[in-house]
Structure 1
């Protein structure tokens, strides 16, 4: 988890710089349009992939002896998902153009389709690497995604097209580069990239994946629906300011995305299905890290917005502070969702996130017209908190774990420091610290993961 969090923070730095370039080269209204295009691409990717990332990690963890067949079947379904993504982008783009932007933007739809297809490819291949326990390869893919996104954004916005469409396309291409690179790694591991349409396995994969994917779609609505409602209910320039605030707040979410990514496959592969020790420790350390980073970023938020993005973006300071507070319940919800998916109960995650999505819609529609972008941020806080409460109940019922054991305690501060030192001095780190870190490993996000010193998740759990 520590390694992946560090990689994610490096990725955030590159993504942050790409956002700074976009904010400096585009006006707030164009940046608001970019947020709509990116949200459309992400939404289509979430819907079209059919939960293949969930199925890949779960079945590879449960059936390691059958990994070639599983990989071939998942790749076959991924090809179908890519076609579905293109069709959905065109259909959804017509609706978004009319209701959100009040105009049709064909080039934005093309860029969003590239973004959707690249995201599906990256998530599916990444989840296969996680399920095959090639976590180090996944970490490098995550880093290369951010570096590629930053470099391509510089080239396209600086030399080719200084437009919202250019920014969305650059982001999509930045995701496509590591997706193609990780395909080569996958081929080296499995010996073949030939897809196979396996009816029995495909049926099982879709049954599990779709059950969990409903939760992913609803989670996405919790996270991103405001990026569509703000431009629809307010002005595009305010949408651009709010888009920047959300991207900055994502820095705080990196620990929880890394932790949930590593926790999912560990829980799926652990020998004792009733064990909650890893989930409890992961939750405590993640909440502690999230809280510390949120406080530090809150202290310098006006400076960050005005210096890096421009004085006009200082208007988003209050919204950013609320969004930073919302990262704590969001982090807890991510950890609990990863645990429940690992226990084969993705449907419960869908219930929890479904309630959160309902809260998001009600709160956004109620608060945005009254409070503006601060209302959108407050709606996110309420929705994340509601989701976390529901998932706490589901976790307690399924695992029987103690809820207080999920909350940080003073001794966890020493653990965080020790984990950081272990990563800074890997050659001096004994086996025990590696085992204590490895259980915090999981599947792939927003599905993502990291290879920790060559050991497998199951082996670490048993040892």
Structure 2
């Protein structure tokens, strides 16, 4: 009996490892494809809007992105954890998420409109206020999209999860090409394409959830308060504070640069940021897949969880080697893709590389 039990456990571990490897590889493939689409989008925006227009666009989309990070309350992380453990039904989690989304959207939009009305000239002196107000329309769909894709992640349905995340960049690229290449509609057109892309991505993700069989329809989603509300907040806020600080760490430099040097310098710097952050593809893929798996396998003995440190070291080494390659390729790559106007992006790109490498290690551990 003992050898048979041992072989059974070994077989389960092998199957779990294969599943983990497949999911990481599949998610990494999506990351590579999405990165290519996003870089192409950045190239189109940079070339057709120029440094100043590129800077204006980057500042405007930063506002709804920051609001979504600030006000998600760690609910996506809670969804992944509790669904991964099988502690909550998907339908109950969605009910809870929709209630939070409704309240947080109202809170976020009302406070942001008031804040921009009072302080936009002080904090965004060279950015037209009409663009800032218009960009707020992206906040509600961006927030709900973060909630819905986390449900698919928690279910470990990475085929649908990756499809939902690819829908936004692909649709945004198509709409950006229409807005800038065909219609020549400037920054306003680029923002319109971004907002429409977020809405399309949200609709695709909801349909994927329905087709997964976990949901039947929207009917009754807002009724009967669920105890999951309290549990998700209790778990989520612990990760939420770290996520806010991480976002500020990644994006405060863009806000400060715009405040002191204006949109043109920001537009050049953003190119460096967009390029080097592609090196996070591997760490993002690994952390996306590993979190629900650890939640599923966790048995209360932290000493057994050796998977994360081993993967973190592999991610650090791979990202480090990739950063060396990018450092050599930056000099011909930046002018070739974005134009000679962005040649000054090379120096900040090189300066950002060490931080990108070491943060990739911490992203997996976190």
- Aligned: 1:35 with 2:58: yes
Q: Which moved more, 1:46-55 or 1:161-170?
A: 161-170
- The verdict on how the C-alpha distance between 1:43 and 1:289 changes in structure 2, with shifts beyond 3 A counting, is same
2:131 paired residue among 88, 108, 116:
108
Q: Which runs of 5+ in 1 are unaligned?
A: 338-463
- The verdict on how the C-alpha distance between 1:248 and 1:256 changes in structure 2, with shifts beyond 3 A counting, is same
1:191 alignment counterpart: 216
| Contact map agreement 2:335 2:342 (CA 8 A) in 1 | yes
2:78 alignment counterpart: 55
Count the aligned residue pairs.
337
1:67 paired residue among 82, 85, 90:
90
1:221 alignment counterpart: 248
- The verdict on how the C-alpha distance between 1:314 and 1:285 changes in structure 2, with shifts beyond 3 A counting, is same
> Which one has more relative contact order, counting CA pairs under 8 Å at least 6 apart?
2
1:13 alignment counterpart: 36
Q: In the aligned structure 2, how far is the partner of 1:224 from the partner of 1:209?
A: 22
Q: In the aligned structure 1, how far is the partner of 2:100 from the partner of 2:94?
A: 10
| Contact map agreement 2:210 2:217 (CA 8 A) in 1 | yes
- Aligned: 1:181 with 2:204: yes
The secondary structure found in structure 1 opposite 2:227 is helix
Cα shift at 1:96: 6.1
Q: TM-score, normalised by structure 1?
A: 0.69
- Aligned: 1:154 with 2:177: yes
Q: In the aligned structure 2, how far is the partner of 1:95 from the partner of 1:154?
A: 34
| Contact map agreement 2:156 2:289 (CA 8 A) in 1 | no
1:441 alignment counterpart: none
Cα shift at 1:200: 2.9
2:325 alignment counterpart: 296
Cα shift at 1:41: 1.5
| Contact map agreement 2:41 2:173 (CA 8 A) in 1 | yes
> Structure 2 matches for 1:131-170, cutoff 5 A?
131-160=154-183, 162-170=185-193
Q: TM-score, normalised by structure 2?
A: 0.86
The secondary structure found in structure 2 opposite 1:250 is helix
Q: In the aligned structure 2, how far is the partner of 1:130 from the partner of 1:119?
A: 16
CA RMSD of superposed structures (Å)? 2.0
Q: Which runs of 5+ in 2 are unaligned?
A: 1-23
